[in-house]
Amino acid sequence: QYEKLWLGMSLLLIVGFIATITYGAVGVGVSMVDDSGGNVDPNALDEHPEFSDPGVQKVGENEYEVYVVARQFIFQPDPIVVPANSTVTFYVTSADVIHGFAVVGTNANTMVIPGEVAEITVEVNEPNEYGIVCHEYCGSGHHTMEGLLRVV
Ligand code: CUA
């Protein structure tokens, strides 16, 4: 008699686990579909209309602003090309989840939060190439999320 009861409870538990796992998988799947087609958060867009066309803008003698949009699992634009001997300010936002933005070999290293704009300035001197990496776990393609800064 008790055996049957225990068997029944075990089965319920197992069904519960499977339901939880399935629900989680479906939830992630749905959000990833949304994210891939997502747009930049409207707040960030209002403050910085430049994000609608991410890229490099010359704002002064040897001074550049770069608007970067991070999304699963790319940086836009890629590559980023700026002239040597200039001051470069990055404005970075996310179109979906929290990402990281680090220009390897420079002091540029920040979190990228949806709806917020990270600002970071670097001096670039010699022509060189710098890898850009996402250092916040952002999903299944996180380890492939990288870009390139080309100083010419
Ligand atoms: Cu984007 Cu990790």
Quote the ligand 1 centre to 59 CA distance (angstroms): 29
Domain that holds residue 71: 42-151
Task: State whether 73 and 140 are in the same domain.
Answer: yes
Task: State whether 17 and 77 are in the same domain.
Answer: no
For 95, phi then psi, to 5°, come to -90, -10
Quick one: which atom of ligand 1 is closest to the CA of 137?
2
Task: State whether 90 and 15 are in the same domain.
Answer: no
Q: For atom 1 of ligand 1, which residue has the closest CA?
A: 99
Quick one: which atom of ligand 1 is closest to the CA of 141?
2
- Per-residue confidence of the chain (152 residues) as pLDDT tens digits? 677 777 777 777 777 766 665 555 544 444 443 443 445 555 666 778 899 999 999 999 999 999 999 999 999 999 999 999 999 999 999 999 999 999 999 999 999 999 999 999 999 999 999 999 999 999 999 999 999 999 99
> How many other C-beta atoms are found inside a 10 Å radius of the C-beta of residue 135?
16
Task: State whether 14 and 73 are in the same domain.
Answer: no
Quick one: which atom of ligand 1 is closest to the CA of 97?
1
ipTM: 0.99
pLDDT (0 to 100) of residue 64? 98
Task: State whether 12 and 78 are in the same domain.
Answer: no
Task: State whether 32 and 47 are in the same domain.
Answer: no
Task: State whether 21 and 47 are in the same domain.
Answer: no
How many structural domains comprise the chain?
2
Radius of gyration of the chain (CA): 22
Torsion, CA 39, CA 89, CA 113, CA 93, rounded to 10: 0
The binding-site residues of ligand 1, defined as CB within 6 angstroms of any ligand atom, are 73, 99, 134, 136-138, 142, 145
